[in-house]
Amino acid sequence: MAREKIMEVRDLSISFKTTSGILNAIRGVDMDLYRGETVAIVGESGSGKSVTAKAMMGILASNAIVNSGSVKFTYDNKGVSKTVDILKMKKSDIRREINGQHIAMVFQDPMTSLDPTMTIGKQITESMIWHYKTPKKEAEEKAIELLSLVGITEPEKRIKNYPHQLSGGMRQRVVIAIAMACDPDLLICDEPTTALDVTIQARILELIKDIQYKKNISVIYITHDLGVVAKVADYVDVMYAGKLVEKGTIDEIFYEPHHPYTWGLLSAMPDLDTRDERLYTIPGSPPNMMKPIPGDAFAPRNQYALNIDNRLDPPMFKLTDTHYAATWLLDERAPKFDMPPEIAARIARMKKEENHDDQ
Amino acid sequence: MTTNEPLLKVENLKQYFRINRKYTVKAVNGVSFEIYPGETYGLVGESGSGKTTIGRSIIRLYDPTAGKITFDGMDISGKMDKPTFQKLHCNMQMIFQDPMASLNPRKKVEQIIAQGIDINKMYSSPAQRKEMVVKMLEEVGLDPDHATRYPHQFSGGQRQRIGIARALIMNPKLVIADECISALDVSIQAQVVNLMKDIQDKTHCAYLFIAHDLSMVKYISDRIGVLHLGHMVETGSREEIFDNPIHPYTKSLLSAIPSPNPRMEKRRKYMTYDYYESGIDYEAGTEHNVGGTHMVLATDEEFEKWTK
Ligand SMILES: Nc1ncnc2c1ncn2[C@@H]1O[C@H](COP(=O)(O)OP(=O)(O)OP(=O)(O)O)[C@@H](O)[C@H]1O
Ligand SMILES: Nc1ncnc2c1ncn2[C@@H]1O[C@H](COP(=O)(O)OP(=O)(O)OP(=O)(O)O)[C@@H](O)[C@H]1O
Ligand SMILES: [Mg+2]
Ligand SMILES: [Mg+2]
């Protein structure tokens, strides 16, 4: 079956005005998303994951400047397929036509998207009533059902609670329920399960998968939890300092990573056998995004950096039809090298685990 | 194990919230544990089990419904006199779960981080104050430039680190860290955990580390408490809990730890545990010793069944 593209981001570049100058948060991002598929965006804190997602929803902060790019979104408008550029739309049109109904987002910080003065029941039913004119009674029943689906016990009592009366993880699940209330085509989840324990996390991920399967919706997960990525993603986009540095299928990224930053990311996650006194961290810190970055932004932290990295930003090199990485190490003129032994050992361990599991 | 006095002693703590006439949430329902100077106590448990509430009761953002809390030799469970309150304020700090809700949006980062040292006059000159703030920013992996920005101008992970800096700058004896690394990416997580360990080595402070990420809890904690529905169902050293979990809830929790291995993860099935269908009654259980410091909440029959 042909894949049906629903979102196409091209050459996206976004800066912010701040008191100490202009901060270049997104520096040329291309991204594609197809119907029914799941993409995970991973990357260091501050690399631009949330800003990218907000651009996709047309809800950038007021001090944001879009330097270039387009965000084309294709959706079904009363039976006719329609493509719009979110970045060119009026805020009020986005709110009326797109957000909630076609694209819904679960925000990283649940308190910022909940209204402290309104009961959670009201907050879940509000958008159903607004977008679909669902009768109040029916909307309320659906709200109760959604709350119980996200694992909140005694939902009929809970709908009368205000956000501050809920635990952190409950709030996060309420936000998920709000996002699902209007059956969107695209669900963007920004760190949706960070406040959840593993059992509830597993349940929420199963639930989203389930809905995805039934309604054929697309999901973007923004997460630093590689365990979550491993569980849900078909494709992975790795971001560093406002750019995509590697993209591929889940297997390509986990078992055949090619970018030194991806190596670092995979090395830094503790597996349960981590016995070392200290956890591995990628040396150095991310670049200051207020200053121009000559060459490859990751070069100063990259022990495999070549001379050219300090001068010229690498293009995306193609490895397979689905796998790309932006590192000069893949240039044919680059010296031959092997991936670091720790990461090779870790991949070997994962593969062995898997065989072991098969027996 | 240390033989000295515990830094924090919580005995039979109860914290109820009355929602209306017919509905009271028993968020914490008779919890006891101790934390010794310089150790890290990991508190884990399902969402809504009462972890944050325990933290907030200990640091006295709530008035406990019942129970006794002793900190550094002082009884802090009832009304406190001024010196006790001030000592509590300096020596116990909390890093909050919801960073945006706990940072004043109208204050610059510098003022936020320096708040505690300002109130308690912990420096001798403005230059020293600045130096302390800058050093703290660097330690949590932020830029000195960030001092003049407002909280909403940061990414989620950066915001969380502001909260960490604000707590650690006080050099407290006990830090209640509520999900303080869960919003951070793995590399920064590792950096912050290493930092917390370094500070502990230097100042011998203790941590109450609230988290749901068991691989991190295993890595950082000396002892662990497993909380479920307001009850402490199992406690013990890290080895006791991870190598020999007894309570069915603990077992289900350990079985659900995601592994960063896609091919395995996609076919994984979890052990499930449903209290209401399990036939277990937490109110009927008492603490049973499994061996060493390992305790589990159970009735005699349950204990027999689980340990055989
Ligand atoms: N409104 C704003 N004003 C100024 N700077 C901003 C604003 N919003 C975001 N930034 C900056 O843009 C960069 C990217 O932020 P973003 O929130 O996308 O990071 P992220 O990848 O989601 O990180 P995290 O994993 O910590 O959530 C950061 O350096 C952040 O400080
Ligand atoms: N101020 C409050 N008013 C009323 N109920 C509250 C209040 N604070 C917490 N609760 C309730 O107490 C219970 C325990 O909440 P708590 O925040 O301690 O959970 P938690 O273990 O920290 O969960 P999470 O992992 O989701 O953060 C929940 O049922 C919650 O709804
Ligand atoms: Mg973010
Ligand atoms: Mg909590």
Can you give the residue ranges of every domain in chain B? 8-306
List, in order of start, the domains of chain A with CATH numbers: 5-233 (3.40.50.300), 239-358 (3.40.50.300)
| Cα atoms in the Cβ-side hemisphere of radius 13 Å centred on B258 | 30
- From the alpha carbon of B157, which atom of ligand 1 is closest? 26
pLDDT of residue A54: 94
Residue type, A295: G
Q: Are the beta carbons of A198 and B265 separated by less than 8 Å? A: no
The model's pTM: 0.84
How far apart are the CA of A152 and the nearest CA of chain B, in angstroms?
9
Average pLDDT score over chain B: 89
pLDDT tens digits, one per residue of B120-165? 889 999 999 999 999 999 888 888 888 998 888 887 778 888 988 9
| Token digits of residue A31 | 């991204």
- From the alpha carbon of A54, which atom of ligand 1 is closest? 18
Q: Are the beta carbons of B261 and A350 separated by less than 8 Å? A: yes
pLDDT of residue B211: 86
Q: How confident is the model at residue B27 (pLDDT cuts 50, 70, 90)?
A: very high
Tell me the angle at which helices B109-119 and B156-168 cross, rounded to the nearest 10 degrees: 20
For residue B53, how far is its CA from the centre of ligand 2 (angstroms)? 6
d(CA B47, CA A94) in angstroms, rounded, equals 34
pLDDT tens digits, one per residue of B66-79? 999 999 999 999 99
Q: Which ligand is nearest to the CA of A154?
A: 2
**How would you write the pLDDT of chain A (359 residues) with one tens digit per residue?**
689 999 999 999 999 998 888 999 999 999 999 999 999 999 888 899 999 999 999 999 999 999 999 999 999 888 899 999 999 999 999 988 898 889 999 987 777 788 989 999 999 999 889 888 899 999 999 999 999 988 888 899 999 999 999 988 888 889 999 998 888 999 999 987 766 777 778 888 888 898 898 889 999 999 877 888 988 999 999 999 999 999 999 999 999 999 999 998 888 766 655 555 666 778 777 888 888 898 999 999 998 889 999 899 999 999 999 999 999 999 988 888 778 888 888 888 888 877 765 44
3-state secondary structure chain B: CCCCCCCEEEEEEEEEEEEECCEEEEEEEEEEEEECCCCEEEEEECCCCCHHHHHHHHCCCCCCCEEEEEECCEECCCCCCHHHHHHHHHHEEEECCCHHHHCCCCCCHHHHHHHHHHHCCCCCCHHHHHHHHHHHHHHCCCCHHHHHCCHHHCCHHHHHHHHHHHHHCCCCCEEEEECCCCCCCHHHHHHHHHHHHHHHHHHCCEEEEECCCHHHHHHHCCEEEEEECCEEEEEEEHHHHHHCCCCHHHHHHHHCCCCCCHHHHCCCCCCCCCHHHHCCCHHHCEEEEEECCEEEEECHHHHHHHHC
| Alpha carbon nearest to ligand 2 atom 17, residue | A167
Residues of chain B in contact with residue A226, where contact means CB-CB under 8 angstroms, are 186, 260
Q: Which ligand is nearest to the CA of B50?
A: 2
For residue B162, how far is its CA from the centre of ligand 4 (angstroms)? 18
Q: Is the CB of B157 under 6 A from ligand 1?
A: yes
pLDDT of residue A276: 57
Other CB atoms within 10 Å distance of the CB of residue B196: 23
List ligand 2's pocket residues with C-beta within 6 A.
A 164-170, 195; B 17, 25, 27, 45, 47-53, 97
Q: Is the CB of A49 under 6 A from ligand 1?
A: yes
Tell me the residues surrounding ligand 4 (ion) with CB < 5 Å: A 167-168; B 52, 97
In CATH, the architecture of B8-306 is 3-Layer(aba) Sandwich (3.40)
Q: Among partner residues B17, B156, B189, which is closest to A109 by beta-carbon distance?
A: B156
- From the alpha carbon of B154, which atom of ligand 1 is closest? 31
Q: How confident is the model at residue B99 (pLDDT cuts 50, 70, 90)?
A: confident
**Phi, psi angle pair for A83, to nearest 5°:** -115, 130
d(CA A163, CA A171) in angstroms, rounded, equals 6
